[in-house]
Amino acid sequence: MSAPELGVLGGSFDPPHLAHVMLALFGRSSAGLQRVVVAPTFIHAFGKPLGDYDHRLRMCELAFQPLPAVEVSPIERELGGVSRTLRLVEALGQRYPGHRLRLLVGSDILAERDRWQDFDRICARAPLLVAQRRGSATEPHALQLPEISSSDVRAALARGADVGTWLPAAVRAYIATQGLYTGAA
């Protein structure tokens, strides 16, 4: 009997949008992962400024709540310091012994792989499950994620634009009640 597969979905999630949710759903539904762990970045490895960690964690909880067997984890905060994917998958491997890890990514990430620390070791520890992003090379019949980026969402929110088709309703409501992303992209 083969080991159960656990999907790892890390990222800034600033804010989490529907393409993130679709990626987790793809992992569970199409790729057959037993579980998916969503892990918001604590401190971005490339120095990218991020919104408050607790807000991003809560928005992830709201965004992924409808999906069964998708867990939002504060593991990156527990690990502390700069978030590194290899460190994340190794820590999850210790927490979920006997599971085979798979790293869920959009195809746009592949263009950045030379910037990642120990990319080959990451792939050896948690082979990639790649969903295609529009504008990148696609395989026939591959899942196409909608062209949504968190930076575009932040910019639209700062302009007061409607982001109803980009964000889960619960995340939109949280952003509104917390007054997030107003006036700054």
DSSP 121-163: HHHHHS-EEEEEETTS---TT--EE-S--HHHHHHHHHHT---
What does residue 62 show for φ and ψ, rounded to 5 degrees? -70, -45
**59 and 175 Cβ atoms separated by less than 8 Å:** yes
Instruction: Name all domains of the chain by residue range, CATH numbers in brackets.
Output: 5-178 (3.40.50.620)
Give Cβ neighbours of residue 70 (< 8 Å, ≥ 6 apart): 24, 28, 35, 36, 38, 64
Closest CA to 78 of 37, 23, 123, 116: 37
Kindly tell me if the per-residue pLDDT of 7 is higher than 60.
yes
pLDDT of residue 139: 58
Element (H, E) at 40: strand 35-40
Q: 184 or 118, which is more confident?
A: 118
Q: What is the CA radius of gyration of the chain?
A: 16
Return the structure tokens found at 88: 């994340």
Give the mean model confidence (pLDDT) for residues 19-38: 94
pLDDT of residue 141: 57
pLDDT of residue 74: 98
Give Cβ neighbours of residue 89 (< 8 Å, ≥ 6 apart): 8, 101, 103, 122, 125, 126
pLDDT of residue 162: 94
Closest CA to 1 of 133, 100, 80: 100
pLDDT bucket at 36, cuts 50 / 70 / 90: very high
Give the mean model confidence (pLDDT) for residues 113-121: 90
pTM over 0.85: yes
Strand partners, 5: 100
pLDDT of residue 142: 65
pLDDT of residue 185: 46
The pLDDT tens digits for 126-178 are: 999 998 876 555 555 567 888 899 999 999 999 999 999 999 999 999 999 99
Give Cβ neighbours of residue 10 (< 8 Å, ≥ 6 apart): 38, 39, 40, 41, 76, 83, 85, 88, 103
pLDDT of residue 140: 52
Task: Indicate the range of 43-52, 90-99, 134-143, 145-154 predicted with least confidence.
Answer: 134-143
pLDDT of residue 3: 87
pLDDT of residue 156: 96
Collapse the DSSP code of 37 into the 3-class scheme (helix H, G, I; strand E, B; otherwise coil) and give the result.
Answer: strand
Task: Indicate the range of 49-58, 112-121, 151-160 predicted with least confidence.
Answer: 112-121
